[in-house]
Each structure stands twice: as C-alpha cells, then as structure tokens.
Structure 1
C-alpha cells in the first residue's frame, strides 16, 4: 500500500479490505478479530496509528514501533492465540513525522478455514463491509464443509440402497450421451455395473452404496429430497425490467425443481426454449444449438455452472434463476474458490463438487475443465452485449452471475466516439465504451471484454491513455479522463439533425471536443450524458445505410425527395460529416463535380449495430 492509496482510504473511511486501529501504545484485543475476519474472507490491510474521531480518521502514529510490531507478529505465531500461522506482511509508513504500522493479512486457503482465536472455534470471524462479524452456526458449517479433504458430493450414503435409488429413465438418458462421447465396452454393462464402474456407487464391506453425487444426479425424487431438503433450483420468469421490479411484485412464471440434477437441467432447457427470441433445435450428440446467434452457449454454461458448483450441503438457501426482460440472474449458495480474474483464465480450477462436475464433462455437457465462466463471457460479449457481472461473495459464500441484455457498443456510444473525433479499432472501442459506462475499469474488465492476456490488456489500456480517453488510477486500473467527464453538463438535448421535421429541438451541430469550455459541475453518469448529446433523424439514418457505398449528393437528394440542394446539404448531410459518421471521397475538393459521400468506420459500425438489433 503506497502513500496515495492510504490517504485515499483515510478519506473514504474503513471498508471490507482495510481496518484502522489507534494502537498508539498497545495492541487492541479486537485487532485479532480483524485478523481472523480477513483470513477467513478476502484478506485486507490492518493499519495501526489511526484514530477514529466521529466520522473522520486522523493519523496519531504508533509510539514504539519495534515493540508493537514484535508483539503483534509474535502473537500471530502462538497456537493459543490464533489457530493458523498466517503469512502477514508488514511495512512502516511515516506521515508528518508520525509512524504507521501496516499489516497485510492474506486470505488463507479453504483447508485452513475457519481461522479462530484462543483455541475456541466459536471465535471465528468474517469480514462484512467495515465490520468483523462472528460466524454463525451455518456460516461455520459452510467453512468446515469446504475445508474437508473429502468432498461432500463424494461421500457414500450407506443408508440408501444402491439397487433402488436411481431413476432408470435418467440413467438411460445419461448413458446415451456418455456412449456418444466414449463408445466402447461400457455400452454392454448393466446400469448397476455402469454406476459402479464410474464411481457413482461404492462397495463397502461387500455392500454397494451410492455416493451423494449419484443420488443428486440420478436419484428418484424421494431419495433426492431425502438428502436435499430444499429445491435444486427455483426458476422464475419476471416480465419486468430489472430496474422496475420490486420484490413484492410476483413472478409471471415459476417452477421449483426438486428432482435430480439431470431432470432439473432438462426442465431448464425446456423453459429456455420457450423464452428464446428465435426458434432453434439442439444437436442430439453435442447438445449445442444448431443455429445462430449462439446465446444458448452462455445460458447453458451459466445454468450448468449453477447446478454443478452450488453448495449442496447448504440446506437453508436455494439457488435461483430469474429471467427479467433485460437481465438473467443466476444465484447459488457456495462461492467460487477462484477469484474473478482466475475464473477468466483457461486453466483448471479447484471445484466444490468434483464428482458432479466430472459426470457432466464426460457427456460433453460442460466445456473443458476450467473454461465455463470464460465461455460465458466470450460468447456473451461476442453477441455485442455488456460483459456478464460476477459477484463472488466470500462473506456470504454465495455466487451470482448476471447476463445483461444490453449492447456494450450502443448507438449512443458510437455517436459519442464519432463526435469527439476518435478513431478506434473495434476492440479499443468496446473497452472505451465499458469505461464510459462504469467510469473505471481494471485489467480484469479488459480481459472480460477482449479475452486477451494481462500484458495485452495493459497495452490496450495504455493505448487509450495515449489517446487521452483514459487516465491511469494505479498499476491495474484506469478511469475516464476528467475533460470527458465534464463535457456533458448541458441539460438541453442536442441533435445531429437540423432538419425542420425532426421532433427534437433544432440546434446547430455544436458537438463537444476536448478543447471546449465547460462548467465546473461534473455530470456523474457519462452514459446518460452521451444519450442526451446526439440524436439522428430518420433521414440521416437512411443516408448512413445508403452511404455504405459512395453516393453523390444528387443520388441522396433523389432518395429522400429533397429539391433544395443547399438546405439538404447544410441541414442533413453536413451534420453527419461534422460528427464523423460520413466523409467525402474528395475532402480536398469539397465542390468537385464527382464528389461522393461514404460512411466512416464509425458510421459503418453504427449501421452494423442496427442490423444486429434486428
């Protein structure tokens, strides 16, 4: 943590990854609670020498740095003080001749959780916002399940008969697709022998018993409900936009799935088919859609991710899939063991339910190991949408994935980029559009959009800095430059068109540039501001579509039934040229008799976005 970061945190007050303690002469007892909370959640910085006064934090300094540091670090190595030895990193900072001790407490591996105090496991803490919260019984059980060397789904259920538990129709369905992927001798095995061969049942003291994964995957309903006293998933269709919906509003369609995982999956596919914007079929061998666009891939991977990675030992919370008009939310109990950045890497990940995961992969129903989230992002962004949102909550141990039905490079964004005279590649245009929407972006965000490596993401961000579109916040993040944030302070909507039959207010094409003078007020919502800046008339839209091939002024006049050439050029065509959407084929000779007009790269990009929306 450098001086700039620390000062920024002091102004922002405490949050989930930083805690300030006065600790001038002695270590407060609750400092160890913070260590437990950070270690059990996502890690964080513990700062000694900062006093809270009202809502402010003031630097008071540590009086005896060596004594405090040695005492604190020694305590963290005593088993009677804390259950695990934690690799805490310390550093000393001085402000106005006052010394601060800063300790970084990393998150420990799941096998070492919960980290508790004074030999009492009940004294385990989690970090929630700016607070250290003692673990509840349910929270403790979630940590212990994930810490177990034997995975929950691999446990053998000796109280359930291996001969009676499975649903024959489900097993037959699974074996059909298994044989397509792995043809061979397994086709001749009986169902009982097949389940034993692939570890779904185990022989213990000459008796066969199913694993928990086997019952969850193939079990008859009564056996599934015997070991899972809550729904596998709660499907809801809500005919509202997400922003317009309130919890008290009812769903428009709902189905609570309480059968085995495979029957639940087939039921979800049936629901998805009914909701799909265009009809499609699914290849019987690959279980992939046979048509474009490939939005099914994102749905498939997101739904399967929910089914195979949820915490089936958590009986108090059920997974939910909510279909809104503009958003699909997949929520399940059980956080991902990997970070969001790691989830986007094409590498194998540690999983909560390895037996269930492997069962799905053997029939080709889930992409290669460790690529599920990456596939969701790649396919969703490929369709032109805003990247999915991931919320991996380490405190609550939940995972939420949202698919936003919203174009990243929207018409407003294309018009804006054109208006400020930037010429970006499609990749750079998408990254800048994301920055405009969120004001800030990180390497992980750039990777989510482009799928590039970390070094390539840095090059993309740095290129936009050179273009004076972004500015660096720190080594891994960027934000929109101040001059762009302050462009959009006018409340009146401007329009590219000056045509008299345009519904919008008739104004000249006075598009903002980086050199324009602006008020001191900063408009926070850059996307909204972009929307208010420029609008196209129907006639200008027609021109853009027709000018994908060069057109003369006479051709355009005839196309739109305009006889007054001067008026047409001034009010309809020139605004498109000035906004960077159309260019002359002979710009050095604007009055040339053979002059023609053609869309620019931004103009073509805009026209393509209209086609994609159809």
Structure 2
C-alpha cells in the first residue's frame, strides 16, 4: 500500500510528519536519528512494523512488542544515548493480525534544542522533505542561539555611548513615546538615561553598556553596520501577479534597508504609499496615519513582525518583502517559537527579540502579545479576502506570511450559495466559501477564516454540517466539502495551505461518479446587474423596466427577472400571490451580499483611476 493509504488506515489525519521503520525484532539505529529530527523540528509520529520498498509500504508487524517497546523507550531516557530525555506517547495498532507500535515524538522546547545523539552535538538532525538530515554547523548554531537564556538582542556591545547612537532617531522615538497614553514620562532624562530606563542600556560592573537591541533600534549607520552586516529587509515591488514571477524577474521599485530599525520603519511607510490600496497621508512628526487605507493594519503588523522577529544573529540570509498585484509576501530568517494555532490565540508569546519587541510595543507598534497576527487575520477578514497564509518552517528556521489579494466571497461563490437555497450568515458564508476552495480544512483553518475561538468555529462547522454542505472527516478536527458538491469545485490546482497538516482522502472505498445536483451557473448580464443595484429597496416590474429602458414585458420577465429569482438573488414581496397588484422585487440576503461586492469593486476601480 502507499504511505497515504497506510496513514488513512491508521486514521491519522492529525499527523504533520511520519516516519516508518520495519523494527520487527529490534529498534534500528536510525530510529534515534528520526527522534532527534522530530524533536529539533516540529514533532512527528514514528511507526514500527512497516517495511518500506520505494514508494510502497508493507505492514509486516512487530514480532516482540514488549522487547522493542522497552528497548526504544528506555534508550530515550539515557543521557549518554540522547541529549534530552524524550517522553513519547505510545499507541499499539493491529492491522490484519500485525502489531504496529506508534510513537509520537514531541517537539523540544527552544531551550532544549539542539537534541543530539551519543554526546556528540554534530549528531543533531532535522526533518527536511520527509527525511532525517544531519544539521550543518550553521543550523546547529542557529539552534544554540535560540536556546540561549541570554537573548541575542540583550547581549552587551562595547561601544562608546556618547557616539554610537543617532540623536534624530531617538528624538523621534521619544516624541512618540511621551505622547502615548499610559507610558511613564521620562522627559526629564537625557537620551542615555532614557535608554537605560527602557532597559536598552544595561548596567554592568564596568558601568553602563549598550545592548545589541539599542544599536539595532537607534544606532548610527557605522555602529549599526558593525553588528549587522546584512540589510534589515529587501523590499521589492513587482507590477505583475505572482504567477508571472520568475527568479530573474525585474522589480518595478526596490528599497534596501541597511540602517537602524526606527529609520527602517519610517522608510517602509514611505514605500507603502506606493503600494497602498488608497492614497493616504502621514503626520511627519509622529509618523502616524492621518487617514486609514483598508489594508493598513495588516501591512503595519506584517512589517513590524519582519522588523522585530527576525533572527539578527543570522547574517547569511536577509528578510524580503515582495509585493505583487495579487499578493504581498513577507519572508524572515527565524521561525516563530509558537505553533500556528498558538500564534492566533490571545495571550503572551515567547519571542526571539524581547527588548526590540517591547520597544516597538511602547510606541503602539506591536500588540501586547508580541505578535500581531490576530490583527492581520482580522483586518484581512474585514476586507473579504482569502485568509493569510503562514509557513513557519522549523527545519530551515524561516517564517513566511502571505497576504493574498483574492476575494473569498467572489461573485461566483455568492451566486453559487444563493442557488443552494440555504440561509448562511456572513461568517458561515465565508467559512463555506473557504471549504469550497480548499476541499478539506482543519478546525485551526476555520479559526483563521473566522478570526474566532475554537468553540465558535465548531458552532459554524456544525451548522454547515446540519445543512448537508460539508462532511465530517474526523470529529471536531477535520471537515470536507459534501460529496454532492465536489464536482462543482474540481481539485485541479494546488492552493495555499495555512499551517502544516496531512489530510488524505479515503481510498478503501470504491470510487463512484457523483452527479452535480446544483443548478447551472448564472452568467450575469448588464441588465441583471442593473436590477441587483436597483432592488436594494422593493421595485415593481414596471419601475425596473423603465429604469432599464425596456418595453417588452415577456422578454424582461424571461431573460431578467426569472433567472434572478431562480438564482436566489431576488425575491418577490408577495411570493404566495405571483400576480398580486402590488408585487415587487427585492434582494435576498445573497443578493445584498452581491450588491455590496459590486459596489466595492466599483469604488476600487474609481480609486485606481484616481491614482493613475
């Protein structure tokens, strides 16, 4: 059988990574390499009793379960064999009379990495492409840097305090700081005393010393480049969609930020004026917005994440911000310590650069939890877009955030939902549209779409289940589009995935052709669109014909009214009496949704024309 078939057989929808070993009579030595790799990356499942032959898998079973299990578990508790005592979750499965041992190896904490074998740190492994790969020296050093109790941005730098800082940058920051409600005033302090009060200058036995954070935030160009030999970020704007991009594509506009973080933030705001959805103005004194384009919050938090969460100890890779007409991509060296699901939960998060994070927070440029992803997702939801996509790669220690400029409730999707004849509130409509797009989602995905809690997301999923629009793949974990709707949305192209997961369709059932029971698509004519715009309030047929300049009632009814009625976009005010003398037509809930979309698209086009 294939790996997918075996995983499906073990009902392992929640597995993000899995490795199979034969281990019939003893634990193979390379099993411990897998343990090291799982612990250093994102965790995973190790299955004993499966023989791999190329792409095929054969269940052979473990002959002596107790012996193999005891040998494996006891070795994981011997410090001379592995640097960290690993507490695995154990499960026994039986398939056709063959016993399989399944162990879940959790990810180690930041402070526990790297996990290595035989007291040799060079024998540390990570997972890449479903394989165990020995860490390079550079990868080991990144793990060691992240594990340090003394965070990198808090380390002492032997610079002259009187000459290493940029006074204009500090002056701007202090002005914003003093204006922010709730901050303790330090207006009577000089610049050095001010930075000391904020914890950016540290007291040592040799006196006050600059921290790396203070230089990264406020350093003069020479001081800054002394400790940061690479750019803070490389920002590129392309005049095409992402699909037309190739590695050699020429950017339309580019800025390379190789100065302190406060100046970098100011430069990024200037750059944003060129890519913003609508024109805006910035107060030159506070660098705060005096008006607000719709995507500003998402842009602000995404950019701040690049500035405050990147790995400043990594001098070989530079962050990139690439803006396309259909998406913006923010890429960082340095992964998030938290999981995708945890990043969207309220509460404090462990961060790589706590002093830098706190400094930005004190002037209102970072949410209290240290990550602004909840604000990003909420803002993107308010804009009606497909949810942002996160790739938190713990193997390469990189973080990528993608903001796709694609409407989740498109015109086609709104009309499709109207034809189904079910009532969907705005949240349920968005969630169903996302399931139509992805075919299968997790509860974590639902939370991302709705920007709501697990409990609230499960309520919406249950409602869609009750309406027979989706199916439950795994209770309260994974859901998919209902079988009778799959043919309307064929899976013929890959889609961006939010978070890591492994969900496979069942293959042990006979494949059958499922008829498409949904009505045919309605192609909207200009007359249809005009009626939709007019029917936000009840309108008679005569009124509508007059507005459209039509005189043939039968033609109007058969080509305009009846398709809109059948499509669920308009309804009669007296549906029980079709020939009622005061019969009028008004938008349904789906029709109102489509009307709002048409209005928004029209406004966006006007804004684009004004910018041109």
TM over 0.5: yes
| Maintained 8 Å contact 2:305/2:371 | no
Deviations 1:591-611 (A, max 9, x none): 222211111110011000112
Q: Aligned partners of 2:6 and 2:149: how far apart in 1?
A: 39
- Judged with a 3 Å threshold, the aligned counterparts in structure 2 of structure 1 residues 187 and 480 are, in CA distance, closer, same or farther, namely same
Size of the aligned set, in residue pairs, is 578
Tell me which residue corresponds to 1:499: none
Q: Aligned partners of 1:248 and 1:61: how far apart in 2?
A: 51
| Maintained 8 Å contact 1:154/1:213 | yes
Task: Give secondary structure in 1 for the equivalent of 2:101.
Answer: strand
Tell me which residue corresponds to 1:495: none
| Maintained 8 Å contact 2:49/2:101 | yes
Out of 522, 527, 530, the position equivalent to 1:534 is: 522
Deviations 1:57-89 (A, max 9, x none): 010001011111111111111111111001111
Q: Aligned partners of 1:16 and 1:413: how far apart in 2?
A: 30
| Maintained 8 Å contact 2:392/2:400 | yes
Deviations 1:316-347 (A, max 9, x none): 10000011111011100010111111111111
Instruction: Name the Cα RMSD after superposition.
Output: 2.5
Deviations 1:84-126 (A, max 9, x none): 0011111111111111111110111111101100110000000
What is the TM-score when the length of structure 2 is the normalising length? 0.90
Tell me which residue corresponds to 1:25: 25
Tell me which residue corresponds to 2:361: 361
Q: Aligned partners of 2:97 and 2:332: how far apart in 1?
A: 50
Task: Give secondary structure in 2 for the equivalent of 1:186.
Answer: coil
| Maintained 8 Å contact 2:236/2:253 | yes
Q: Aligned partners of 2:347 and 2:52: how far apart in 1?
A: 44
- Mapping 1:155-170, distance limit 5 Å: 155-158=155-158, 160-170=159-169
Asked if residue 547 in structure 1 is aligned to residue 535 in structure 2, the reply is: yes
- Judged with a 3 Å threshold, the aligned counterparts in structure 2 of structure 1 residues 291 and 364 are, in CA distance, closer, same or farther, namely same
Tell me which residue corresponds to 1:611: 599
Deviation at 1:176, TM superposition (A): 0.7
- Mapping 1:300-449, distance limit 5 Å: 300-370=300-370, 372-449=372-449
| Maintained 8 Å contact 2:23/2:49 | yes
Deviates more, 1:591-600 or 1:211-220: 591-600
Deviation at 1:449, TM superposition (A): 2.1
Deviations 1:178-235 (A, max 9, x none): 1112566511211122122222222333433210000000001111111111110001
Q: Aligned partners of 1:117 and 1:522: how far apart in 2?
A: 56
Tell me which residue corresponds to 1:174: 173
Tell me which residue corresponds to 1:203: 203
Q: Aligned partners of 1:521 and 1:538: how far apart in 2?
A: 34
Deviation at 1:445, TM superposition (A): 1.7
- Mapping 1:181-220, distance limit 5 Å: 181=180, 186-220=186-220
Q: Aligned partners of 1:40 and 1:436: how far apart in 2?
A: 35
Tell me which residue corresponds to 1:47: 47
What is the TM-score when the length of structure 1 is the normalising length? 0.90
Q: Aligned partners of 1:563 and 1:167: how far apart in 2?
A: 74
Asked if residue 598 in structure 1 is aligned to residue 598 in structure 2, the reply is: no
| Maintained 8 Å contact 1:288/1:297 | no
Deviation at 1:286, TM superposition (A): 7.6
Tell me which residue corresponds to 2:572: 584
Q: Aligned partners of 2:599 and 2:292: how far apart in 1?
A: 14
| Maintained 8 Å contact 1:485/1:522 | no
Deviations 1:441-474 (A, max 9, x none): 2222221222222111111111101111111111
Task: Give secondary structure in 1 for the equivalent of 2:92.
Answer: strand
- Mapping 1:420-569, distance limit 5 Å: 420-475=420-475, 476-487=477-488, 520=513, 533-569=521-557
| Maintained 8 Å contact 2:236/2:254 | yes
Task: Give secondary structure in 1 for the equivalent of 2:597.
Answer: helix
| Maintained 8 Å contact 2:483/2:514 | no
- Judged with a 3 Å threshold, the aligned counterparts in structure 2 of structure 1 residues 136 and 328 are, in CA distance, closer, same or farther, namely same
Task: Give secondary structure in 1 for the equivalent of 2:582.
Answer: coil
| Maintained 8 Å contact 2:279/2:293 | no
Q: Aligned partners of 1:16 and 1:344: how far apart in 2?
A: 19
Q: Aligned partners of 1:286 and 1:423: how far apart in 2?
A: 47
| Maintained 8 Å contact 1:44/1:106 | yes
Q: Aligned partners of 1:184 and 1:488: how far apart in 2?
A: 56
Q: Which has the higher contact order (CA 8 A, sep 6+)?
A: 2
| Maintained 8 Å contact 1:346/1:370 | no
Task: Give secondary structure in 1 for the equivalent of 2:468.
Answer: coil
Deviations 1:413-466 (A, max 9, x none): 101101222220011000001111111222222212222221111111111011
Q: Aligned partners of 1:255 and 1:68: how far apart in 2?
A: 58
Q: Aligned partners of 2:489 and 2:186: how far apart in 1?
A: 66
Deviation at 1:26, TM superposition (A): 1.5
| Maintained 8 Å contact 1:16/1:127 | no
Tell me which residue corresponds to 1:248: 248
Task: Give secondary structure in 1 for the equivalent of 2:100.
Answer: strand
Deviation at 1:4, TM superposition (A): 11
Q: Which runs of 5+ in 1 are unaligned?
A: 492-517, 524-528
- Mapping 1:118-137, distance limit 5 Å: 118-137=118-137
Deviations 1:560-609 (A, max 9, x none): 12221111101111000001001111111112222111111100110001
- Judged with a 3 Å threshold, the aligned counterparts in structure 2 of structure 1 residues 343 and 288 are, in CA distance, closer, same or farther, namely farther
| Maintained 8 Å contact 1:10/1:57 | no
- Judged with a 3 Å threshold, the aligned counterparts in structure 2 of structure 1 residues 259 and 252 are, in CA distance, closer, same or farther, namely same
| Maintained 8 Å contact 1:465/1:471 | yes
Task: Give secondary structure in 2 for the equivalent of 1:175.
Answer: helix
Q: Which runs of 5+ in 2 are unaligned?
A: 493-510, 604-612
| Maintained 8 Å contact 2:528/2:564 | yes
Q: Aligned partners of 1:450 and 1:488: how far apart in 2?
A: 22
| Maintained 8 Å contact 1:436/1:480 | yes
Tell me which residue corresponds to 2:264: 264
